[in-house]
Amino acid sequence: MGDAVTATLRLGVIGAGAMGTDHVRTITTAVPGATVTQVHDRDAVRANQVAQRAGGEVAASAEELIGSDEVDAVVVAAPDATHAGLVLACIDAEKPVLCEKPLAVTAQDALRVVEAEVAYGRRLVQVGFMRRYDPGYVRLKETLAAGDLGDVRVVHNVHRNASSATSATGPGIITGSMVHELDTVAWLLDDQVVGIRVESPVKDGLPDPQLATLEMAGGALATVEVFVNARYGYDVRCEVVGTAGTAALARTPSVSTRTAGVEGVEVASDFVIYFADAYRHELAAWTRAARAGGVDGPTAWDGYLANLVAEAGVASLASGTRQAVAAAPRPTLYDGIR
Ligand SMILES: NC(=O)C1=CN([C@@H]2O[C@H](COP(=O)(O)OP(=O)(O)OC[C@H]3O[C@@H](n4cnc5c(N)ncnc54)[C@H](O)[C@@H]3O)[C@@H](O)[C@H]2O)C=CC1
Ligand SMILES: O=C1[C@@H](O)[C@H](O)[C@@H](O)[C@H](O)[C@H]1O
């Protein structure tokens, strides 16, 4: 694709489950300059439903979709284990790709993506760390950048889901859920995780909730509680503690009810509702950049770093010990991007 802004970006979407369906809905209803031309899912019925709703066609395979002349750029929303391979295929086809988090399941696979992009010589990959587009997190980062909190010492994070799939695993909670905070804390503080410890009070069965302590290169500490079967709803919190004050995400706008002698505020049921604005801003920014021939937002390098910390977290959960995190040298392709 050249530097000129293309009329309409023709998108191929791989994976038509919860996230793929929601992304297609967002693209077709709220993202200017993009249209979904092809959908692929291993489940042809789902692919067909989503393609029909978007006015696009079903692609028989991911390879066919990525190579199609009808597709300028690709959204990957298939399961985690497919991500690295699909992103490598997009780089091979020289097409921009927005890949849902995590970039890969292992740091080694994420590094393969980084190496392929570096060999190509230009960014094509954006990782779906959509919290960087959430108005609350953006405001929090602006508050830190303004310096009003003094030196940041601690970041507290809470990440709760109402329920997880029955197939959820201890490592999967780190690689699939905690990975958001592993990226967010590094992005907020413009710093890197150098050590991690993950524990769970549940020793028999699914280790849920989990509590992580992150050590940042700059000396700050972060806590992350992830609880994927918290039952009561979807809840994400973040408070930054500095030497001159604190700043925290405020509750999303809601309604407070008073009935039968009880005052209550509703809690979102899931991420699709809680982060709707973040997904919309993410898709819009990615589309804008791709139409202009570029890529914006979280890089493959960010994806690799998050995978690396997650991998150390998985080792910590298994061993009960603190794990050091040592990244490969950062390629110059990613210099100056935050
Ligand atoms: N950024 C965020 O907040 C969120 C990100 N995600 C990520 O999005 C991805 C999808 O998650 P969900 O939609 O929740 O899962 P899901 O299970 O609802 O949907 C996955 C879809 O992929 C299809 N699929 C499975 N293997 C495939 C293959 N080899 N090729 C093509 N399609 C295949 C399945 O048939 C299913 O329709 C995951 O990587 C997940 O980590 C999920 C939820 C929120
Ligand atoms: O990425 C997501 C899911 O894959 C994950 O399973 C959830 O725990 C997160 O809250 C959600 O944002």
What the chain holds in terms of domains, given with CATH numbers, is 9-131+277-298 (3.40.50.720), 135-274+306-324 (3.30.360.10)
Atom of ligand 1 nearest to the CA of 41: 32
Q: Evaluate if pTM is beyond 0.95.
A: yes
Q: Is residue 129 within 8 Å of residue 243, measured between CB atoms?
A: no
pLDDT digits (tens, 9 = 90+) for 260-274: 999 998 889 999 999
Residue type, 202: V
* β-pairing verdict for 73-76 and 97-100: parallel
* Burial of residue 103, with CB atoms counted within 10 A of its CB: 0-12 exposed, 13-18 middle, 19 or more buried: buried
**Band of residue 167 on the pLDDT scale cut at 50, 70, 90:** confident
Tell me: ipTM over 0.85.
Answer: yes
Spatial distance between the Cα atoms of 304 and 282, rounded to a whole number of angstroms:
19
CA of 206 to the centre of ligand 2 (A): 16
Q: Is residue 296 within 8 Å of residue 285, measured between CB atoms?
A: yes
**Band of residue 5 on the pLDDT scale cut at 50, 70, 90:** low
As given in the structure block, the two tokens for residue 39 are 């959908």
Q: Is residue 213 within 8 Å of residue 197, measured between CB atoms?
A: yes
Q: Which of 100, 133, 161, 224 has most ligand 2 atoms within 8 Å of CB, for mutation?
A: 161
Q: Who lines ligand 1 at CB under 6 A?
A: 14-20, 40-43, 46, 62, 77-80, 82, 100-101, 128, 130, 176, 271, 275
For the residues 141-151, what does the mean pLDDT come to?
A: 95
| pLDDT more than 90, % of the chain | 93
**Band of residue 253 on the pLDDT scale cut at 50, 70, 90:** low
Nearest to 189 by CA among 145, 133, 247: 145
Nearest to 313 by CA among 166, 182, 187: 182
Q: CA 250: distance to chain centroid?
A: 21
